[in-house]
Amino acid sequence: MNYAKTALLLAAMTALFLGVGYLLGGVGGAMLAFLFALGTNAYAYWNSDKLALRMHGARQVTRGSAPEFVDMIEGLAKNAGIPAPKVYVIDSDQPNAFATGRNPENAAVAATTGIMRMLTREELAGVMAHELAHIKHRDTLIMTVAATVAGAISMLAQFGLFFGGGDRRDNGLGIIGVLVAAILAPFAAMMIQMLISRTREYSADREGAMICGRPVWLESALAKISGQAARYEMESVERNPATAHLFIVNPLSGRRMDSLFATHPATENRIAALRELAREMGQSGAGPELHPERVAVTRSSDSRLPRAGRRRGPSDGPWG
C-alpha cells in the first residue's frame, strides 16, 4: 500500500512538473520539465533522506558519543522488529524529531537537543517510538520524496520567473504562464501535504505506543512539545518549509490550525486517541520507569548532549 501511495505521489508530482514546464516554455518546456522530473524523482528516492538531514544540520551520533540515546533507539527498534536506524541530533532549542529513509534497512532518526532537554526519558522514548513506527510502516519514503520534489517544483517556478519564461513564441501562455507558475509554486508543498494523509500520524502514534508499551509516554510528550515548539523558531525549517511534515509536531511558526492545509492533526485529537488506546490496553496513570533491559540509558560522553545523573534545576531537562 505504501509503495502504491509513493507511485501515485511521484506520478502527481511529475504531472505538476509538466504543467509548470508548459506554462513556462510550452511544449519544449514541458519536455525539459519531464526530463528534470525523472532525474529529480530518481535522486529523491536514493538521496532525499541525506538531503533532509543535511538541510537541518543533523549530526550523527554513535554509542561512543551518545550511549544513552543510541541504546534507547536500539532497544525500541528491537521492540518494533526492525533494524536499528542511524541516530542523529540537531542542535536546536525547538523540541522536535523526525525519521527519514527509503526503507527500514536504510533509515535514520533525528531529535533536537531541545526535545532531549525538555522530556523525561519515558516521554522521549514515546517520541522516538513514534518515529520508528513511521520507519516500520515505510512512511519515511513518501515523506522524504515529497519534501525533495516540493522544493524542486518551487525552484523550477522561480527559475522561470527570473528568466521571464524564455522564448515567448513557444511559451504556453507567455508572461501569464510565468506568473501563473510563480503563483502555483508556493502552493506545491501544500498540495503534497494534502496528498500525504494526516492519518499516518494517528497510525504512527498508535504503533509507537505499542512499541514503547505505554501510550501515556507519547501522550505526555505531545502535550509538552506541541505547546513549546512554536516558541522556538527553527531556522532550517523556515528556510525549507516543504520538510515540515517530516516532524512529529508542526515546526513552523504560526500554524496551529487542524485545517485542510495543516501538515499535522490537532494535538488534542492525537492525545484523545492515545488515551483511548491506553484504556483499551487497561493502563492508567504515568506508568513505570523504563526497564533497563528494554531501553538502556547510560551516561553520555558527548559534552554537546544533555547529560543525566544529577538533580534537575528549574531550567533543566531530565538529561542534565
Known catalytic residues are 131
**177 alpha-carbon distance from chain centroid:** 33
Give 28's contacts (C-beta < 8 A, 6+ positions apart): 170
Burial 34-52 (b: 16+ CB within 10 A, else e): bebbeebbeebbeebbebb
Question: 192 vs 206, 226, 259, 267, CA distance in Å?
Answer: 24, 22, 15, 21
Tell me the three state secondary structure of residue 205: helix
Write down how long the chain is.
320
Measured distance CA(247)–CA(100) in Å, rounded? 10
Scanning 56-138, the segments in alpha helix (DSSP H) are 67-80, 113-118, 121-136
**Residue 76 cell numbers, joined:** 525500541
Measured distance CA(84)–CA(63) in Å, rounded? 12
Give 164's contacts (C-beta < 8 A, 6+ positions apart): 175, 178
Measured distance CA(125)–CA(76) in Å, rounded? 8
Between strands 86-90 and 97-101, the pairing is unpaired
Helix (H) or strand (E) holding 279: helix 267-280
The total of other beta-carbon atoms located within 10 Å of residue 209's CB is 25
